[in-house]
Structure 1
Amino acid sequence: MRDEAMTDERFLRHLDAYGASPERWPSELRAGAEAALARSPALRAAVDEAMSFDRLLAGSPPAVEDARIDRLLSAVGAGARAVPQDGLMLLLLGRMPRRTVAGFCAALLALGWLTGGWLAGTLPAPIQAPRGQELALLHDDVVTLFDGDSQ
């Protein structure tokens, strides 16, 4: 196809590909593009729009106020808090209110802290040994009952 016979559709396709600046167009397409621009006001409007877009891309981004960012983050946070989160707790407990899940997690944390304290020996053991028997520490990790018999 000759350069002079560039259709509007072909011109728009090249305009999307190369932008509004004629320097970016391949030299073999420029003559046909200029002829198409001379005959079509719609193509000139498309080039003006593409130039505006190119200027927008070349410029610096607009300044955004901190208050606008804060409002956006607050809205996103509120939306995220309103939707139940899927995760391990959902798999284990099913859907339940957040306060219930938070209480359950706090109870598990306290239970783990108490158990760790008992095992480490920093907290007193919750179960007392029966009378006449003593606790013997045979190893750092194993606590056994010892009543004095050699059985």
Structure 2
Amino acid sequence: MREDSMTDRDFLRHLDDYGASPNRWPPELRAGAEAALARSPALRAAADEALAFDRLLSGSPPMVEDARIDRLLSAAGATARAVPQDGLVLLLLGRMPRRTVAGFCAALLALGWLTGGWLAGTLPAPAAPTPRGQELALLHDDVVTLFDGESR
């Protein structure tokens, strides 16, 4: 094998770079490519496959019926509607009816507006509750906790 002859690996790399048409190959590589093609049936098969691929790319795209596009889009839309969309609200609140989520978001918006007004000084602050001796809080259906203001 001569030093200037093209290896199979080089031929495949150049085939990927320049395509199957010899006209697109640089002139200094064409002679080595022809010699490599003459000695290797595997390279000829690779060149034939690249030529078929080049023809596929250079041809006009196949015509697609409008009805087929409509069927594809409706199937994709039906599939997307059937799968629940996991968004931020779902991650924070879990699965809820949309009305409940909308009410919760409206309540949070109102709470933010009121808090912003109190902090900016445009709304009067809520009156401080009068201290009581003891308060009960229901943290769970089965557990009642007594808050008397003492830290424990």
Which interval holds the TM-score relative to the shorter structure?
Answer: 0.5 to 0.7
Amino acid at match of 1:76: A
Distance in 2 (alpha carbons) for counterparts of 1:105 and 1:36 = 69
Please state if 1:47 is matched with 2:29.
no
Cα 1:86–1:21 shift into 2, 3 Å: same
Q: Which amino acid aligns with 2:67?
A: A
| Alignment partner of 1:87 is 2:87 | yes
Cα displacement string for residues 116-148 of structure 1 (whole angstroms, at most 9, x for unaligned residues): xxxxxxxxxxxxxxxxxxxxxxxxxxxxxxxxx
* Uncovered stretches (5+) of structure 2, i.e. residues with no partner: 107-152
Q: Deviations over 1:11-47 (max 9, x none)?
A: 1111011100111111111111000111112211111
For 2:55 and 2:3, the matched residues in 1 are separated by 31
Deviation at 1:2, TM superposition (A): 3.9
Distance 1:36 1:91 in 2: 60
Deviation at 1:70, TM superposition (A): 1.5
**Equivalent position of 2:78 in the other structure:** 78
Q: Root-mean-square deviation (CA), in Å?
A: 2.8
Percent identity of paired positions between Structure 1 and Structure 2: 77
What TM-score results when the alignment is normalised by the length of structure 2?
0.59
Residues matched between the structures, number: 108
1:57-88 deviation per Cα after TM superposition (whole angstroms, max 9, x unaligned): 11111111112212211221121112211335
Q: Which amino acid aligns with 1:31?
A: A
1:128-139 aligned at under 5 Å gives the runs none
Question: Counterpart of 2:56 in structure 1: which amino acid?
Answer: L
TM-score (norm 1): 0.59
Alignment partner of 1:53: what SS? helix
Q: Say whether residues 1:34 and 2:34 are aligned partners.
A: yes
Q: d(CA) in 2 for partners of 1:106 and 1:69?
A: 35
- Aligned pair 1:18/2:18, yes or no? yes
Q: Distance in 2 between matches of 1:25 and 1:59?
A: 21
- Cα distance, 1:104 vs. partner? 4.2
Any stretches of 5+ residues in structure 1 without a counterpart? 112-151
Please report how far the alpha carbon of residue 107 of structure 1 lies from its aligned counterpart in structure 2 after TM superposition.
7.1
Q: Which moved more, 1:70-79 or 1:29-38?
A: 70-79
